[in-house]
């Protein structure tokens, strides 16, 4: 599928997972796409923990539900009302989940390009996640990034070594369709920002002439 | 161009920039692709500062050269010898640069999905960078991420507001070609890791059966 079509179709999926079989050859192509991402010093500091164990998914879903409740309690009544209609994850419904992690020890200590910016390896891991997301979209699958969790809980759940940090829990798998408008915009949570507001030229205070 | 072709062709470019004109309509498509990335709570916390002022580029290039020297001095003699042949940036040669920033105040305080993970907005900014990178590749342009800089220096150079953090300096523009093998692998700095080593199933210590 054409890159721009994929970028335009990609959504953060919560509601549209079919739970149908996850074709291993599709999964392999998606993981290869992620693994082809750029990385600082060519460290490829990511790992992918595939989760299809129902018990693990259930324990994570329960943890996320608790964090959702805590967030809801922090909101004003108006925002809490809007939030109450928003589904924030598809952990049980999606065919599988992929925990993406970052290992700062890979290639260390002298990581070319991470000398001045400690977070550069974390950035690389996110580039791999976007490749994974786009590849899944091209394959007719969906991806939903769940971020209502505490990192130590997830590290314990999947048994990460102490140095390794969880970066994302991604719900992944076939979907019935992809929505055209992001869920949060349809639910009235937040509207998208015009690109022109985000573009500056030769300094923050000088907007682009384009 | 097909997504998988783009992902396979994409390189981190230092040497192949032509410095030729940066077609504004191409640049617009690339920025639109970046801006279509997913973001935590639909905050779209990124900004793009386009840099084509030769004076700004020169000051940044001089700063980067200093940081390169400091990194080189930290290496063992063997590694320093390998590193001495590696070009780490194409700041002067590329048609333009794009500084990508992260604004944690956008949509704050109650950012849906950033309640438990403070870095989630930073992650979103990286997803936009990967979209930009892939779109540039599809357009026959190249992107080179420069990370040999100190964040306060870059913030000062482009006049970022105090809350806004620079995430990347990207050299961007037309290229003569893209190499098939990453520069760092060709230079003997580091080889790529097999994907199979990065895939686990239902826990870190249990490798995937696939």
Instruction: Summarize pLDDT for A125-147 with one digit per residue, the tens.
Output: 999 999 999 999 999 999 999 99
By residue count, chain A amounts to 210
Q: pLDDT category, B210, cuts 50, 70, 90?
A: very low
Residue A190 has pLDDT above 80, yes or no: yes
pLDDT, residue B206, reads 62
pLDDT, residue A206, reads 62
Average pLDDT over residues B122-129: 98
Residue B157 has pLDDT above 90, yes or no: yes
Sheet holding B165-174, edge to edge: A199-201, B46-51, B96-102, B165-174, B141-146
For chain A, count helices (H), then strands (E): 7, 5
Interchain contact, B133 vs A44, CB within 8 Å: no
Say whether A194 sits in a helix, a strand or coil.
coil
Tokens of A32: 């290869």
Q: Is the CB of residue A41 less than 8 Å from the CB of residue A111?
A: yes
Residue A34 has pLDDT above 80, yes or no: yes
Tokens of B71: 């990194």
User: How many whole angstroms from its chain centre is CA A90?
Assistant: 13
Q: How many Cα atoms sit within 13 Å of A123 on the Cβ side?
A: 27
Interchain contact, A7 vs B67, CB within 8 Å: no
Residue B96 has pLDDT above 70, yes or no: yes
pTM, 2 dp: 0.97
Alpha carbon separation from A163 to A24, A45, A103, A146, A159 (Å, rounded): 30, 12, 7, 22, 11
Q: pLDDT category, B109, cuts 50, 70, 90?
A: confident
Residues of B in contact with A53 (CB under 8 A): 202
Q: pLDDT category, B208, cuts 50, 70, 90?
A: low
Q: pLDDT category, A10, cuts 50, 70, 90?
A: very high
Interchain contact, A126 vs B127, CB within 8 Å: yes
How close, in Å, is residue B19 to chain A by CA atoms?
Answer: 17
Interchain contact, A3 vs B8, CB within 8 Å: no
Can you tell me the ipTM of this complex? 0.96
- Is the bond preceding residue B95 a cis peptide, omega within 30 degrees? no
Average pLDDT over residues A155-168: 97
The pLDDT tens digits for B170-204 are 999 999 999 999 999 999 999 999 999 999 999 99
Residue B60 has pLDDT above 90, yes or no: yes
Tokens of B90: 């194409």
CB proximity A87 to B under 8 Å: no
How close, in Å, is residue B191 to chain A by CA atoms?
Answer: 7
User: Which of B56, B122, B47 has the alpha carbon at shortest distance from A204?
Assistant: B47
Average pLDDT, chain B: 95
How close, in Å, is residue B41 to chain A by CA atoms?
Answer: 7
Q: Which of B16-25, B87-96, B113-122, B136-145 has the lowest mean pLDDT?
A: B113-122
Tokens of A112: 């070319």
User: Which of B38, B159, B145, B152 has the alpha carbon at shortest distance from B98?
Assistant: B145
How close, in Å, is residue B87 to chain A by CA atoms?
Answer: 11
CB interface of A with B, residues 97-136, below 8 Å: 107, 110, 112-117, 119-120, 122-123, 126-127, 129-131, 133-135
Q: Which of A5-9, A87-91, A106-110, B24-28 has the lowest mean pLDDT?
A: A106-110
CB proximity B153 to A under 8 Å: no
pLDDT, residue B207, reads 58
Residue pointed to by tokens 């990194």? B71
pLDDT, residue A210, reads 47
CB proximity B48 to A under 8 Å: yes
Residue A209 has pLDDT above 80, yes or no: no
Q: What share of chain B is helix, strand, coil (3-state, %, to 5)?
A: 40, 20, 40
pLDDT, residue A110, reads 83
Percent of chain A whose predicted confidence (pLDDT) is above 70: 98
Average pLDDT over residues B137-152: 97
pLDDT, residue B113, reads 80
Interchain contact, B79 vs A110, CB within 8 Å: yes
CB proximity A96 to B under 8 Å: no
Residue B48 has pLDDT above 50, yes or no: yes
pLDDT, residue A207, reads 59
Interchain contact, B49 vs A120, CB within 8 Å: no
Average pLDDT over residues A64-84: 95
């Amino acid at each position: 599928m054409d890159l721009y079509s994929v970028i335009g179709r990609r959504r953060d999926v919560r509601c549209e997972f079919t739970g149908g079989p996850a074709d291993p050859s599709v999964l392999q192509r998606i993981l290869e796409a992620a693994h082809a991402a750029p990385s600082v010093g060519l460290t490829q500091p990511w790992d992918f923990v595939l989760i299809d164990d129902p018990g693990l998914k259930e324990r994570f879903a329960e943890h996320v539900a608790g964090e959702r409740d805590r967030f809801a309690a922090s909101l004003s009544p108006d925002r809490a009302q809007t939030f109450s209609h928003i589904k924030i994850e598809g952990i049980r419904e999606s065919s599988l989940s992929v925990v993406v992690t970052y290992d700062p020890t890979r290639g260390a200590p002298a990581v070319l390009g991470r000398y001045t910016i400690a977070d550069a390896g974390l950035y690389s891991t996110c580039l791999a996640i976007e490749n994974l997301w786009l590849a899944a979209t091209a394959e007719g699958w969906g991806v939903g990034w769940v971020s209502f969790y505490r990192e130590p809980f997830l590290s314990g759940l999947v048994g990460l070594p102490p140095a390794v940090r969880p970066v994302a829990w991604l719900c992944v798998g076939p979907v019935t369709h992809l929505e055209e408008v992001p869920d949060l915009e349809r639910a009235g949570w937040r509207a998208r920002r015009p690109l022109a507001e985000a573009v500056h030229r030769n300094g923050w205070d000088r907007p682009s002439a384009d």
